[in-house]
Structures are given as structure tokens and as C-alpha cells.
A and B are shown apart, each in its own frame.
Chain A
Amino acid sequence: MSDTVLDIEGLSVHFPTRRKLFVAVNKANLAVEPGEIHGLVGESGAGKSTIGAAVMGLLERPGHIAEGTVSFKGEHINGRDADGMRALRGAKISMIFQDPLTSLNPLLTVGQQLVETIQFHLKLSDADSKKRAIELLDRVGIPSPSERIDQYPHQFSGGMRQRVVIALALCSEPDVIIADEPTTALDVSIQAQILELIKELARERQTGVILITHDMGVIADTTDKVTVMYQGQVVESGTTEQVLGAPAHEYTKSLIAAVPRPTLKVHRFPQLSYGGRQIAFHIDDLARNWERPEPTKSGTLLKVEGLTKTFLARNAIIPSRRKYFTAADKVSFDIREGEVFGIVGESGSGKSTVARMIATLYQTNGGKIFFDDEEITELKTAKDLESYRRQIQMIFQDPFSSLNPRMRVDEIIAEPVKHHKLLEGDAIQHRVDELLERVGLGSDAGRKYPHEFSGGQRQRISIARALATQPRFLICDEPTSALDVSIQAQILNILKDLQEHLGLTMLFISHDLPVVRQMCDRVGVMRQGQMVEVADTETLFASPKEAYTRELLSLMPKLEGLSTEGLEDEIV
């Protein structure tokens, strides 16, 4: 095609290491036309970002392009020297990074960073550069740009910062923009706005966009074409409709099958059959040795009433001048024994604050918590509190920071058992080995340290740790949002098994509505510290009562064009 702006042919990127050659990208092909948004999708480590870096000439050493060509408007660019690449970078090809909180220099004003870039590329005068900077900020939708141009990045919210980043990428009217996970760090509503902006800009300026993402929802809603990568190789490429609706390659099929759907509920996620990543989870063995407590009389395991938490936003000596921030405002709900209760909301809505108060990690500023008909907020002695804490356990979002890197895995899992003095001597090691076997890691895993495991494996270690005290109640705070979809499917399956076979009650916190739909029996929607609506999951998705809930649901990617191959047996 003659009007292709960026054409990647047979590109291979190699990272020689001391032991062996690591092939990050293997003979990849990809072509972008003006005004087209081309999605590049795959799981972490698939080589998506490496392609972006290779095009920009920003590969980290010792990585290099081993073979293949990158052509920009028909001209080979991968042989260029550093100066030649710099002339292209930012001027003809721009890049947008994932995290808007870290991609702006905190010590320079937004205007300084824009003007610097505009002056460098377009050689305009100070006044003209500033004028153009204001125009750009206005174009990307920043209100009152002439005032905000003199502000520093920290004075902008996450979504606004990503708009600034986009303005920076547009400084010199590039022909191609490479957007590397541009909305992964943002809330759903902001994500929708940013994607809309990228779409508009691509149409309006006839800019070709490579949208790198792991999120099938983003791909389905935004892109014209899509290329699927797996372990450095392009496995499938075509129009979005065709690839998502009728995938040809086995990997694409398994990937699409693992995506939680907002519109249909599945009983279990089909295990990814591609690449032999199946894991064994022995729930029956675990259930056999599980000590089940007496069921509660009322059927309600956890009940919170008017739960409130305020944080000091600004300290002052005079109490009246102190400023407080209400993170949770009179939140009330109850969770029946054996059910999964979901809390959804955007970041800052107070979801995690509520969870931490229930876990007694935060002191409450008001309200009551009842567990098994006993008021927890009234518990005075440490002994009573310990017994409550044994019965509730938490699984955190980040599998990397929630495990102590200096402790061995068996020590990590044994710690809660030892702390609560549940077992003694060899029985502890026996419990640890058993748990590791059950979550599919094998007892040998106990002798290793957390860094030797992948994100999904670590999350299974977290699950084993949470199960070590044989709790009744599990709090899962965004347990899968840091994971790839296939791994997410595994973890969600494990959690479903735990609930069904061990009768565990769960509080499941997530910002991801499709996941919540798959997991939860009932859902509470939180906004700015308040519980807006509580309803049965199916009722909430079918007929939301509150305006905010409707808004959240409307922003959710619909994924209607996605193939349902492999899901047939699981649809509920």
C-alpha cells in the first residue's frame, strides 16, 4: 500500500544476555495507515512495548534490531544513526506512555515542557510557542488553558495529565503516535474520555496510531485493526471485527475466551489451553481437611452500619483550622454467609478504606461492624480481636509488594499460623506444604523467595497465606487488576472454587465491572465515600436504579462482537 505511514516488516529484536540470546520480537509485521488506529494486543512479555521502543529507536541496551525493516513513509529508518533518529522522534513519530503520573517532569511547569518541545521541533519564538502550547492544551480538552499552562504537573489530576502528555506528543504534528497502554492507569470514565480524544485526533489529523494494550475492551471499542502477539510473535492480524469475532489462531481464541464479559455470566472461565499454562488446583483435598465453623443464626455473617472514616488532609495546631477528608461516609451493607459481595467504584471512592476498616487495619471514626452477630467495634481485649482477625483474611492487589521479599515462601505462609498459635511443630510445615500443593505450586515452592515467581503465582501464594488460618471471610482488594487476562481467569476460578467448596464468604473489591458480574452475588456501588446503591448483581446490571450506576455501566466496554467460542458450556 502506497499511503502506509509506518510499515514494519519481519522485525526481530534480540536481547543478548550472558546465558543466551533472548528474542523479544520475532519476525513481526505491522502496517499503519493515516487516520487508522491499529491495536497491538498481547499479555505481558509478549513484546508489544518492545516493538514501540524499536520503532522509536529507544531500545534499552543491549537490545537491538537483529533483522527486518521499519519504514516511515516508504523510507527505511532502522539504519539511522542517533541524530537521524532524533530528527524523527517527536517530530514525525510521537509516543504516549502508560502512567501519566510519572511521564511528566515534576519540577517544570506544563507550559515549560510544552514550549521546550515546540521550540525544539518547530523553531518558533517564545510568544508563538506559548500560543501554540495553549492551543494544544485547549485542543486536548483542558479547561482554561491559558491559566493552567503555568501550573505544575502535580496540580493536574491523572486524566488531565494524560491529556497534557497527549498535547506534548502532538507538539510537532506527528504522522504516527505510538500509545503504550495510555489508559491502563486511569479510571473507567477517564479512560473512555482519553480513548475518545485519541480517536478524534486520529481522524482529524490523519495520524496513524499504534495502540499497545492488554485490554480487550479497549481494543474492541477503539481500534480499526488489531495485531495479536504471543511470546514475541505475531499470531494473528486483521480488522478488529474479524479478529475478535472470528479468531483464527488458537491463542487468540483462548485469549478471547478468558475475557470476562459484561453481558453474559459464565460459571467458570475456560482455562487457557494454549501454551500449556494450565494449573492444577486441588479444591477437593482442601475441602476435606477444612474445619467449618457453626453457621451463623441469622444467616448474615458481616454487617456494617454507618461506617465512617476521615483522614486529616491538613494539620494545624488550632483544631478548627484542620481540614479533614471523608474517605468513607456512613457506609452500610450486610453480607450473607457464603455469598460474594462486590464493591465497585472509581479510584478514591473509598472501596479499600471500607475493606481496611473491616479488617481492623484502620480505626473507624464512627459506625459499627458486626461479625457473626458480635459487634467488632466493641471488642476491647486483644484476645477477642485476634480471634476475629483469624477469621478474616485479606488478598491484596499488588502481588509484588504484598509479599515480603526477604522471607521464604513457606515462612510467609506459616506466619499467620504461628502468630495465631493454631498449630505447633511439624504440623505447621505440614499445613504449609499442603496449601502450596493445593494452590498448584507444589511444596518445593516453599523453599524459594517471592521474586522467583510470576505475578499470577505470587497471587496464589497470597491466597495460600490467606487460607492458612482457615478463615471464614476473605477480603479480596482488586485481586486481579495487576494480572494478565489468562492469569486473571485462573485466579478468579480459584476464588470461585473456594467460595463454593469451602463455603467462604467474600468481600470482592474491584473497579472492573465485567469481573464483578462474573464473581459476585450482590454488588454495592460506591462514589466519593458513599454507598450509592446495593442490589443483586443481575438486577443491578439489568436495571440500575441510580444515575451514577447507569453512567458507570454505560462506560463499560460492551464486547458484544467478541467470539463466544469455548464458553458455550459455561454460560449461566
Chain B
Amino acid sequence: MLTYVLKRVLQSALVLLVVGLVAFSMFRFVGDPIDNMLGQERTDADIARLRADLGLDQPFPVQYYKFLEKAVQGDFGVSFRQGRPVAEILVERAPATLELAAVSGFLAISIGIGLGVFTAIRKDGFLANMIMSVSLIGVSLPTFLIGILLIYLFSVELGWLPSFGRGEVTHIGWWSTGLLTSSGLKALILPSITLGLYQMTLIMRLVRSEMLEVLRQDYVRFARARGLKERTVNFRHALKNTLVPVITVTGLQLGSIIAFAIITETVFQWPGVGLLFINAIQFVDIPVMAAYLMLISVMFVGINLIVDLLYFAIDPRLRTDGKGAH
């Protein structure tokens, strides 16, 4: 068990190192920053001095090491565009994105698993078939289109919900939340549905097919033959076995919820890191781009690590190293 966790942590660290390298290379290879920083009237001496000041005269590995050293301390340098430390901007923007991702992730998982189980148990029911047909829309329409349609219906036509922004936010320490005000909550509805719909339908369809498979298994038939209640059979015996493969996909999907937040945030002008990233690309704000890349990869790696550990919690077969006593 311990070796397994250690192995996974080491692998994660390796992935992060590689991503860090990619992020760092952007500084080196997307143009020379000195060119942008000094004006027309520069001398060779100026360039050399600035180069030395910024440490750009040192060899590549040394520079990479320094970048990493600072990055782990949360120092990603200064934004070219805003002139403020990148870390500060990220801290300011992150709560918006994390809140949005958390709410849509929660919606996707809870509704997805609920509907998945329902449609599996009532395999041929009318309602279940309806849900399955409607869910096709979720998987087939692109996120931005769903966002625009929702805005058109609920903001433009009905005027019930705001079409952009976060509404009123409350500050708790450095964290800003929209969950405590009614305008903040209202503003959260459309973006979180837009962001979570695809994942929700995906989880639902996956849970359904896995559950149908599990319901055919002998141990489910045997549980029924022992006279256990339908509820016990469906939830205690079937659902838990269904979740083992579902967890992997769900973990990856949560990662992509944060990554895909870029599109949703652009459509709804949501002041999160995704929007920050889009703006950074327009202005070639490399420090912000690099920091964003690192942030997303840390989250992906972290979620995958948690998924791997969850496997251990759920499936006893992994815990015993295959040393079954006979």
C-alpha cells in the first residue's frame, strides 16, 4: 500500500516536472523578452545589463532550476500586462473558477449518478427512455452553444437570470465567494449548468451501462435469490461495484471541468482564471500563461492521485497484493 502511494506520488512529481519544463520553455522560445522590455533606443550594454539582472545570461538548466525553485514557492514572476505578481492575480481569480468548477462538478456527479442508476433500474421505462434521448443533446452539443442558448432563453427572453459576471461577492479572508448572496447564486446557475452538462450526461450514460452490466452478474442474482430487498440489492451490491470503473472517468472529467472552464468563462464573462488565460494569450502575457499551465496540471495530477487512492478504499482486491490465502 505504502509503496503504491509512494510510486504514484513520484510519478505525479515527474509529470509536473515535465509540464514545468514546457511552461518554462515558453519564456525562452516565444520571442526574446528583452526585445519587448527595452525600447528602440537601447544599447548593447543595456541589453547585457538587463540580461544579467534577470539571470538570462545563465545556462538553460540553471534558469530552469531557478524557475522551479520560485514556482514551488508560488512566485511565477510579474505579469507583463498588469505589472503585478502573477501569484497575486491568480489568488484573486482562482476562487471564481474553483467555485464554478465545484458547483458544476457536484451537479454533474450527483445528478449523473442518480439518473444513471434510475435509467439502469427502469431499463425499459418511458421516463428512463426519455432521459436517455434528452441526454444525447448533452453529449452532442458544444459547450459554448449550450451557454449561448441558455443566455438567450433565461436572460434575454425570460430575463430571470444574469447573462454575465459573478454578481455580488462576499470576501472571507482572501477568498471571494458568490455563494452567500442571492445575486451571486443566480449568476452561478447558468454557467455551472453549461459547464457541467456534458460531464453530467457522460457520467449518467457511463453509470447506466456499467450498472446494467453489474445487474447481470451472478452475485446480484444470488443476492436476489437470498431474498434481499431490491433497495439493498441495487444500492449495496450493484451500485458500489458500478462505481469502480466510473471513478476513473469521473476523475478525468473533473480535471477537464476546470480546463474547459475557459470556454464557459468566456461566454459568461466569468472573472476566473480561464478568462484570465484567454486575455493573457491575446497579450502574450507569458508569465500568466505559464502559471495557468502549471496550475491546471497540478490539479489534474492531484485529482488523478486521489482517484488512485479511492480505488484502494473501494476495491479490496487491490489491497492484498494478490496474496489470497487459500
Binding site for B on A (CB under 8 A): 56, 58, 86-91, 94-95, 97-99, 102-109, 116-117, 120-121, 151-152, 154-157, 160, 165, 168-169, 171-172, 313-314
User: Is B154's CB within 8 Å of the partner chain A?
Assistant: no
Are A120 and B219 in contact, CB atoms less than 8 angstroms apart? no
Which chain A residues lie closer than 8 Å to B227 at the CB level? 86-91, 117, 120-121, 172
With known contacts A105-B237, A107-B241, A154–B316 Cβ distance under 8 A = yes
> At the interface with chain A, which of B126-134, B173-181, B228-236?
B228-236
Are A154 and B317 in contact, CB atoms less than 8 angstroms apart? yes
Apart from A120-B229, A156-B324, list 13 A-B contacts with CB within 8 A: A58-B224, A58-B225, A90-B227, A97-B225, A103-B219, A104-B219, A106-B219, A107-B316, A151-B325, A152-B316, A155-B325, A156-B325, A314-B322
In the assembly, what is the distance between CA of A169 and CA of B227, in Å?
A: 10
Query: Can you list 28 A-B contacts (CB < 8 A)?
Result: A88-B227, A89-B226, A90-B225, A90-B226, A91-B227, A94-B226, A95-B225, A97-B225, A102-B219, A103-B219, A103-B221, A103-B222, A104-B219, A105-B223, A105-B241, A106-B316, A106-B317, A107-B240, A108-B240, A109-B316, A116-B232, A120-B227, A120-B229, A154-B317, A155-B324, A165-B222, A169-B226, A172-B227
Q: What 5 A-B pairs come out closest when comparing CB atoms?
A: A90-B227, A90-B226, A89-B227, A95-B225, A102-B218
Number of cross-chain contacts by CB at 8 Å = 94
Residue of A with least CB distance to B222: A103
Which chain A residues lie closer than 8 Å to B53 at the CB level? none
User: Is B314's CB within 8 Å of the partner chain A?
Assistant: yes
Least distance between B3 CB and chain A CB atoms (Å): 9
In the assembly, what is the distance between CA of A88 and CA of B226, in Å?
A: 9
Least distance between A151 CB and chain B CB atoms (Å): 7
Which chain B residues lie closer than 8 Å to A108 at the CB level? 236-237, 240
With known contacts A87-B227, A90-B228, A116–B324 Cβ distance under 8 A = no
Which chain B residues lie closer than 8 Å to A109 at the CB level? 316
User: Is B171's CB within 8 Å of the partner chain A?
Assistant: no
In the assembly, what is the distance between CA of A121 and CA of B223, in Å?
A: 13
In the assembly, what is the distance between CA of A487 and CA of B226, in Å?
A: 35
In the assembly, what is the distance between CA of A81 and CA of B224, in Å?
A: 15
User: Is B213's CB within 8 Å of the partner chain A?
Assistant: no
User: Is B42's CB within 8 Å of the partner chain A?
Assistant: no
Which chain A residues lie closer than 8 Å to B322 at the CB level? 313-314
Least distance between B47 CB and chain A CB atoms (Å): 49
In the assembly, what is the distance between CA of A151 and CA of B323, in Å?
A: 12
Least distance between A48 CB and chain B CB atoms (Å): 16
Residue of A with least CB distance to B244: A107
Least distance between A457 CB and chain B CB atoms (Å): 26
Are A104 and B324 in contact, CB atoms less than 8 angstroms apart? no
Are B326 and A157 in contact, CB atoms less than 8 angstroms apart? yes
Which chain B residues lie closer than 8 Å to A152 at the CB level? 316-317, 320
Tell me which of A120, A165, A314 contacts B228 (CB under 8 A): A120
Binding site for A on B (CB under 8 A): 217-219, 221-229, 232, 236-237, 240-241, 244, 314-317, 320-322, 324-326
With known contacts A107-B240, A155-B325, A117–B219 Cβ distance under 8 A = no
Interface of B is mostly: helix
Residue of A with least CB distance to B321: A314
Least distance between A549 CB and chain B CB atoms (Å): 23
Least distance between A356 CB and chain B CB atoms (Å): 22
Residue of A with least CB distance to B316: A152
Least distance between B275 CB and chain A CB atoms (Å): 42
Residue of B with least CB distance to A114: B226
Are A97 and B321 in contact, CB atoms less than 8 angstroms apart? no
Which chain A residues lie closer than 8 Å to B232 at the CB level? 116, 120
Which chain B residues lie closer than 8 Å to A160 at the CB level? 326
With known contacts A89-B227, A116-B232, A97–B317 Cβ distance under 8 A = no
Which chain B residues lie closer than 8 Å to A106 at the CB level? 219, 241, 315-317
Are A58 and B241 in contact, CB atoms less than 8 angstroms apart? no
Which chain B residues lie closer than 8 Å to A56 at the CB level? 225
Residue of A with least CB distance to B320: A155
Least distance between A420 CB and chain B CB atoms (Å): 39
Least distance between B84 CB and chain A CB atoms (Å): 47
In the assembly, what is the distance between CA of A155 and CA of B320, in Å?
A: 9
Least distance between B173 CB and chain A CB atoms (Å): 41
Least distance between A537 CB and chain B CB atoms (Å): 31
Are A99 and B218 in contact, CB atoms less than 8 angstroms apart? yes
Least distance between A149 CB and chain B CB atoms (Å): 13
In the assembly, what is the distance between CA of A156 and CA of B325, in Å?
A: 6
In the assembly, what is the distance between CA of A98 and CA of B222, in Å?
A: 10
In the assembly, what is the distance between CA of A157 and CA of B326, in Å?
A: 5
Are A116 and B224 in contact, CB atoms less than 8 angstroms apart? no
Which chain A residues lie closer than 8 Å to B324 at the CB level? 154-157
Least distance between A543 CB and chain B CB atoms (Å): 32
Least distance between B96 CB and chain A CB atoms (Å): 38
Which chain A residues lie closer than 8 Å to B317 at the CB level? 106, 152, 154
Are A97 and B221 in contact, CB atoms less than 8 angstroms apart? yes
Which chain A residues lie closer than 8 Å to B241 at the CB level? 105-107
Are B222 and A117 in contact, CB atoms less than 8 angstroms apart? no
In the assembly, what is the distance between CA of A101 and CA of B141, in Å?
A: 43
In the assembly, what is the distance between CA of A91 and CA of B225, in Å?
A: 10
Least distance between B11 CB and chain A CB atoms (Å): 14
Which chain A residues lie closer than 8 Å to B221 at the CB level? 58, 97, 103
Are A103 and B240 in contact, CB atoms less than 8 angstroms apart? no
Which chain A residues lie closer than 8 Å to B244 at the CB level? 107
Are A104 and B236 in contact, CB atoms less than 8 angstroms apart? no
Are A117 and B218 in contact, CB atoms less than 8 angstroms apart? no
Which chain A residues lie closer than 8 Å to B316 at the CB level? 106-107, 109, 152, 154
Are A89 and B225 in contact, CB atoms less than 8 angstroms apart? yes
Are A171 and B218 in contact, CB atoms less than 8 angstroms apart? no
Least distance between A348 CB and chain B CB atoms (Å): 10
Least distance between A209 CB and chain B CB atoms (Å): 15
In the assembly, what is the distance between CA of A273 and CA of B219, in Å?
A: 39
Are B225 and A94 in contact, CB atoms less than 8 angstroms apart? yes
Which chain A residues lie closer than 8 Å to B223 at the CB level? 105
Least distance between B236 CB and chain A CB atoms (Å): 7
Which chain B residues lie closer than 8 Å to A154 at the CB level? 316-317, 320, 324
Residue of A with least CB distance to B241: A107
In the assembly, what is the distance between CA of A255 and CA of B223, in Å?
A: 34
Are B325 and A105 in contact, CB atoms less than 8 angstroms apart? no
Residue of A with least CB distance to B325: A155
Which chain A residues lie closer than 8 Å to B219 at the CB level? 102-106
Which chain A residues lie closer than 8 Å to B229 at the CB level? 86, 120
Tell me which of B218, B315, B325 contacts A103 (CB under 8 A): B218
In the assembly, what is the distance between CA of A116 and CA of B228, in Å?
A: 9
Residue of B with least CB distance to A52: B225
In the assembly, what is the distance between CA of A423 and CA of B281, in Å?
A: 64
In the assembly, what is the distance between CA of A64 and CA of B75, in Å?
A: 71
In the assembly, what is the distance between CA of A89 and CA of B227, in Å?
A: 5
Residue of A with least CB distance to B214: A105
Which chain A residues lie closer than 8 Å to B320 at the CB level? 152, 154-155
Which chain B residues lie closer than 8 Å to A105 at the CB level? 219, 223, 237, 240-241
Residue of B with least CB distance to A117: B226
Residue of B with least CB distance to A92: B227
Which of B227, B228, B241 has the most chain A CB within a 10 Å cutoff?
A: B227
Least distance between A439 CB and chain B CB atoms (Å): 34
Are B314 and A107 in contact, CB atoms less than 8 angstroms apart? yes
Are A102 and B217 in contact, CB atoms less than 8 angstroms apart? yes
Residue of B with least CB distance to A101: B218
Least distance between A168 CB and chain B CB atoms (Å): 6
Least distance between A327 CB and chain B CB atoms (Å): 16
Least distance between A148 CB and chain B CB atoms (Å): 8
Residue of A with least CB distance to B238: A105
In the assembly, what is the distance between CA of A102 and CA of B320, in Å?
A: 19
Least distance between A235 CB and chain B CB atoms (Å): 28
Least distance between A190 CB and chain B CB atoms (Å): 11
Which chain B residues lie closer than 8 Å to A90 at the CB level? 225-228
With known contacts A86-B227, A155-B325, A157-B326, A107–B218 Cβ distance under 8 A = no
In the assembly, what is the distance between CA of A97 and CA of B217, in Å?
A: 11
